Amino acid sequence: MRTIRIGSGAGYSGDRIEPAVELAEKGDIQYLVFECLGERTVALAQQARMKDPESGYDPLLEERIRAVLPLCAARDIKIVTNMGAANPVAAARKTAEIAGSLGLSSLKIAAVVGDDVLDACKERDLPIMEFEGTIRQLGNRLLSANAYLGAEPIAQALTCGADVVITGRASDPALFLAPMIHAFGWAMDDWNLLGQGTLAGHLLECAGQITGGYFADPGFKDIPDLARLGFPIGEVGEDGSLVITKVTGSGGAVTAQTCKEQLLYEVHDPTRYLQPDVTADFSQVKVEEIGEDRVRISGGGGSPRTGTLKVSVGYVDSFIGEGQISYAGRGAVARGKLALEIVRERLKLTGIAASELRFELIGVDSLHGAHVSVHANEPYEVRVRVAGRTENRREAVRIGNEVETLYTNGPAAGGGAFKSARDVVAVASVLLPRELARPQVQFVGGEQR
């Protein structure tokens, strides 16, 4: 039976770079996938592109590609990534330029375009899923609308001989499913295979989160050598069989426990994991340790895909103003609470227009609120935190100022004040009839397929 090995080189845009180099060098892989596109990243990248038409792709693209391209070219490892963000064509051009500078100008670089569906969404004035309202009602606050594309155009690019495929918004598991479709010729209506392939992609897409990252809990769940965490490899057979492993000698661990945690990560109903290519079913999955750092995952299934694509809509939501200051020693919590009362009163007295406010003590109740934290012990030091949502920057700035003035107007011995005011680009979702997104593969140089 034919088998391919797919490495996962990044789990988010800022992820470590050396683990991908290790995969390319020692992983005996044929594909290296970088998942680098967070929910709101496309909206932020779109803002950048509006200022500079050659920007709008992942800021770490050059560093990542330079680090792995010579190794990948020497070993014929194909690269698939969503680092194109809001501008996959510019990202592909940049990649071609890097390839040229490394003496690798024969490499074929493809961009997948067509995820930008802003016009189609506006035309239909689609309803927003998270709150009452429609696309058009966002008015000039609307920044971007990008559909989660499936594996098909990526697989097509690979089949056309691409060495590097760069997408914008695409479903994360699809980045991994595409090499399987390309290598094994899976039919796009073989729902069980697509479901099992999606399962593989889902497990791999967060990179270190399945090899021991986001997992260690000393005394309960110990993981060796997290500073040198190895990123995962999926060994996929043409029948959909799957083993998760990693480079021998790298840090971390692949165990039944790490795989089970990642299996349910960001999953809602496990019988219906909605993807552009398939409705995947993870409910019958089995997880079995078959060797050191080798875990077999079976039982993924699927049913037909839905008629719509999820679209991530970026918009300017609001401003957030924030201030922090610390207190320590005996009575720290009492002084912190007094500080919060003072700021609460000051925000009222000065008439700051905030639609939502949080008053909390870092070290006591900032993460889970007063109810969940009620039995916490009194800490040696606390940090006051006040945050508020406003309509404009001027109001947001005033919130941080009211915390900072505690230095000279608040309780004794407050130190290390910090303040910030930032605009919030948020994302919401709409569902677009799938035929309205028309993905295309574009090789740099302009050749369309």
Closest approach of Cβ 64 to another protein, in Å? 23
The letter for the amino acid at 34 is F
Q: Which is nearer to another protein, 348 or 371 (CB)?
A: 371
CA–CA dist 157, 449 (Å, integer)? 8
CA–CA dist 332, 136 (Å, integer)? 50
176 lies in the binding site for another protein (CB under 8 A): no
425 lies in the binding site for another protein (CB under 8 A): yes
Q: Which residues have C-beta within 8 Å of that of residue 407, sequence separation ≥ 6?
A: 325, 414, 417
CA–CA dist 149, 133 (Å, integer)? 24
The CA radius of gyration of the chain, in Å to the nearest whole number, is: 24
Find out whether 16 and 224 touch, Cβ atoms under 8 Å.
no
Site for another protein in 350-379 (CB under 8 A): 356-358, 360, 362, 366-372
CA–CA dist 158, 164 (Å, integer)? 8
Q: Which is nearer to another protein, 94 or 310 (CB)?
A: 310
Cβ neighbours of 326 (radius 10 Å): 20
User: What's the full length of the chain, in residues?
Assistant: 449
Q: Which is nearer to another protein, 2 or 371 (CB)?
A: 371
Q: Which is nearer to another protein, 115 or 360 (CB)?
A: 360
Closest approach of Cβ 164 to another protein, in Å? 29
CA–CA dist 23, 72 (Å, integer)? 10
Q: Which residues have C-beta within 8 Å of that of residue 438, sequence separation ≥ 6?
A: 114
Site for another protein in 65-84 (CB under 8 A): none
Site for another protein in 132-161 (CB under 8 A): none
- Binder among 73, 157, 194, 285 for another protein (CB under 8 A): 285
Q: Which stretch binds another protein (CB under 8 A): 90-98, 155-163, 262-270, 400-408?
A: 262-270
Contact string (CB under 8 A) for another protein, positions 179-218, x = contact: -----------------------------------xx-x-
Q: Which is nearer to another protein, 109 or 287 (CB)?
A: 287
- Binder among 28, 39, 123, 447 for another protein (CB under 8 A): 39
The letter for the amino acid at 74 is A
CA–CA dist 162, 152 (Å, integer)? 14
Closest approach of Cβ 271 to another protein, in Å? 8
DSSP state, 272? -
Quote the tokens at residue 2.
Answer: 């034919």
- Binder among 70, 237, 299, 331 for another protein (CB under 8 A): 299
Residues that bind another protein (CB under 8 A): 39-40, 130, 214-215, 217, 220-221, 257, 260-270, 283-287, 299, 317-318, 320, 356-358, 360, 362, 366-372, 385, 387-389, 424-429
